[in-house]
């Protein structure tokens, strides 16, 4: 593949602040029309990386290449990028119209063109009715849309979105997610989205880059990241720390399998074989809540089954998140209906071997 097929290449970017490394050897490349989600907890270096790409922060080492041209020394407006700031950075003294028109005024476009372009974008984002309002008189969702509209008004090669869905209530968040997908397919633009919310990254990204402490620890398609996280800390992060976990010790010479949830469990023979084959004496068995089953009776459990105590549930719109406890472990299961159990009642918990993830207890790395 020739270099020009990439709209943007980020090569070996290093950035330090006061001697502390905030970005360590970051590299990735994007083809036209792709959406890359940079996922990482707050303070992992996402905003700094986007600002380096935009030309607002100077990197210590490495190159930013846009359309085959090194742009390290170019000012922001000559790079062909547009940026939605995490803080939105709307001009509060200006109207919505003036905010969206800002990049077009800077490009010295004529009034007719500006009106036409603003009309198209505001219709797309459904904000054409607030054009006369001052930016500081808008609701959270409206402000977010105006910031996106201002970024889209600029004819850029690459759109950089820094936490565009943060601080929004769930309803607006889901609506904007759908709109992003629509925008991406309609406009065919290359987008880099930074987010600390795994669900946003997995839902929107064609590819996901996981940034922890200024370093890329995993990259790939959303399904690869979700179903094969390289490390247990990634799996915990992706689930918002509601991962079902069981520590298992295996005596490789005999049949003895012990867990941190006691000895009252049954294990599927095939799964036992799998556990022995991984050649580790101490592993952590994990499963996501959408895979784990909690019910009064589970007839066929092709994995590990334990008897626990039902301790509650959360209603999550279309689903219920069920909770059961066994020893000191809490298990969670996402179900579309509530089982016929009461609080404190005995329930069965099944972690099917299919989609269960095994991590090494020593290193935390994914085994299977």
Binding positions for other proteins, rule: CB under 8 A: 51, 54, 56, 75-77, 81-83, 85-87, 89-94, 102-103, 106-107, 150, 154
β-pairing verdict for 158-162 and 81-84? parallel
- The H or E element spanning position 357 is strand 357-360
Residue 318 is classified by DSSP as T
| Least Cβ distance, residue 102 to other proteins (angstroms) | 5
| Least Cβ distance, residue 89 to other proteins (angstroms) | 4
Q: Whose Cβ is closer to other proteins: residue 151's or residue 235's?
A: 151
Q: Count of CB atoms within 10 A of residue 241's CB?
A: 8
Q: Whose Cβ is closer to other proteins: residue 94's or residue 272's?
A: 94
Q: Whose Cβ is closer to other proteins: residue 48's or residue 244's?
A: 48
Q: Whose Cβ is closer to other proteins: residue 100's or residue 250's?
A: 100
Q: Whose Cβ is closer to other proteins: residue 51's or residue 329's?
A: 51
Q: Whose Cβ is closer to other proteins: residue 81's or residue 216's?
A: 81
| Least Cβ distance, residue 76 to other proteins (angstroms) | 5
Nearest-angstrom CA–CA distance, 227 and 287:
10
| Least Cβ distance, residue 101 to other proteins (angstroms) | 10
| Least Cβ distance, residue 222 to other proteins (angstroms) | 28
| Least Cβ distance, residue 218 to other proteins (angstroms) | 29
Nearest-angstrom CA–CA distance, 331 and 289:
8
- The H or E element spanning position 100 is helix 96-106
Q: Count of CB atoms within 10 A of residue 134's CB?
A: 16
- The H or E element spanning position 39 is strand 35-39
Q: Whose Cβ is closer to other proteins: residue 85's or residue 237's?
A: 85
Q: Whose Cβ is closer to other proteins: residue 163's or residue 280's?
A: 163
| Least Cβ distance, residue 92 to other proteins (angstroms) | 7
Rounded to the nearest 5°, which phi and psi values hold at 349? Answer: -120, 130
Whose CA is closest to 288, among 254, 341, 237, 360? 237
Nearest-angstrom CA–CA distance, 147 and 39:
21
- The H or E element spanning position 223 is helix 222-227
Which residues share a beta bridge with 34? Answer: none
Q: Whose Cβ is closer to other proteins: residue 86's or residue 245's?
A: 86
| Least Cβ distance, residue 235 to other proteins (angstroms) | 33
Q: Give the helix ranges, DSSP H, for 259-344.
A: 269-277
Q: Which two tokens stand for residue 267?
A: 């294990």
| Least Cβ distance, residue 34 to other proteins (angstroms) | 21
Q: Cα dihedral sign for 52, 74, 80, 113?
A: positive
Q: How many helices (H) and strands (E) does the chain have?
A: 9, 20
Nearest-angstrom CA–CA distance, 293 and 300:
11
């Amino acid at each position: 593949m020739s270099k020009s097929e990439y709209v943007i290449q980020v090569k070996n970017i290093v950035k330090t602040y006061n001697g502390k490394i905030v970005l360590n050897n970051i590299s990735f490349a994007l083809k036209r029309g792709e959406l890359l989600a940079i996922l990482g907890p707050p303070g992992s270096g996402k905003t700094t990386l986007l600002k380096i790409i935009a030309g607002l922060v100077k990197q210590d080492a490495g190159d930013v290449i846009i359309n085959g041209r090194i742009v390290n020394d170019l000012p922001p407006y000559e790079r062909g990028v547009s940026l939605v700031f995490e803080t939105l950075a709307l001009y509060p003294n200006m109207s919505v119209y003036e905010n969206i028109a800002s990049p077009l005024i800077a490009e010295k476009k004529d009034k007719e063109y500006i009106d036409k372009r603003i009309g198209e974008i505001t219709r797309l984002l459904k904000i054409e009715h607030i054009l006369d309002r001052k930016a500081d008189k808008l609701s959270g969702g409206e402000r977010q849309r105006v910031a996106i509209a201002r970024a889209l008004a600029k004819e850029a090669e690459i759109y950089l979105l820094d936490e565009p869905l943060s601080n929004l209530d769930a309803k607006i968040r889901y609506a904007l997610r759908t709109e992003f997908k629509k925008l991406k397919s309609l406009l065919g633009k290359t987008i880099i989205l930074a987010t600390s919310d795994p669900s946003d990254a997995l839902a929107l990204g064609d590819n996901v880059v996981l940034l922890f402490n200024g370093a890329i620890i995993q990259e790939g398609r959303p399904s690869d990241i979700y179903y094969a996280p390289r490390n247990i800390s990634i799996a915990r992060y992706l689930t918002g720390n509601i991962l079902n976990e069981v520590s298992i010790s295996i005596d490789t010479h005999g049949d003895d399998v012990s867990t941190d949830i006691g000895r009252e469990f049954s294990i599927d023979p095939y799964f036992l074989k799998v556990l022995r084959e991984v050649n580790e004496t101490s592993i952590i068995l994990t499963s996501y809540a959408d895979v784990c089953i909690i019910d009064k009776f589970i007839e066929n459990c092709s994995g590990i089954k334990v008897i626990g105590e039902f301790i509650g549930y959360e209603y999550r719109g279309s689903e219920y998140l069920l909770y059961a406890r066994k020893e000191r472990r809490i298990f969670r299961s996402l179900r579309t209906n509530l089982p016929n159990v009461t609080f404190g009642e005995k329930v069965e918990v099944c972690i099917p071997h299919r989609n269960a993830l095994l991590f090494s207890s020593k290193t935390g790395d994914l085994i299977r």
